[in-house]
Amino acid sequence: MRASLLIAGLIAMLASAVWAEGQGGLGPVIPEATGKAHPEGNDYMRRWHMSMMRHDRDVTMYEGKRDQNASLGGCFECHAAKDETGTPVTYADARHFCRSCHDFVAVRVDCFDCHRSTPEGVEEPPAHAALGGVLSPSLGADVGALVAYLGAWEVGQ
């Protein structure tokens, strides 16, 4: 008897979640993308994007190949959520495309500790933009700027 109730409860929960997804209820609100659809399809990208990004990172970092077909920066050509003025928001804003799902499932994204979170040409916050020269001694690394950035990051700025 208990097993039957448990199974019926699980089926009801799954059915309501599937219904709610179509109604905009239980799932995250994902901002509309612009541009062409992914050749692999949205479901594939939702499931495998992290594996694809890790693969590209490894090929770039460990093999030195920088001519990947996809890049994190390229994502924002279509996936840049915008504010009321039409300016793409940074990862600090809850409306950011990546945050729509990652906040929903309580996953901390650290990509933007080093990478920009907006399309090229959009101004990033000063502390974030400063990282470009901070991490590489050949570019004039400034350890003080890195410490200031990390301190600001820890307190949620």
> Which pLDDT score, from 0 to 100, does residue 139 have?
42
List pLDDT tens digits, range 36-95: 888 888 888 888 888 888 888 888 778 877 776 667 777 888 888 999 998 888 888 888
DSSP E strands in 9-149: the ranges are none
> Which pLDDT score, from 0 to 100, does residue 137 have?
44
**pLDDT at 97 exceeding the cut of 80:** yes
Q: How many CB atoms lie within 10 A of CB 89?
A: 19
- Taking a C-beta distance cutoff of 8 angstroms, is the pair 91, 107 a contact? no
**pLDDT at 114 exceeding the cut of 80:** no
Average pLDDT, the chain: 74
**pLDDT at 127 exceeding the cut of 60:** no
> Which pLDDT score, from 0 to 100, does residue 20 have?
47
- In this prediction, residues 22-34 reach a mean pLDDT of 75
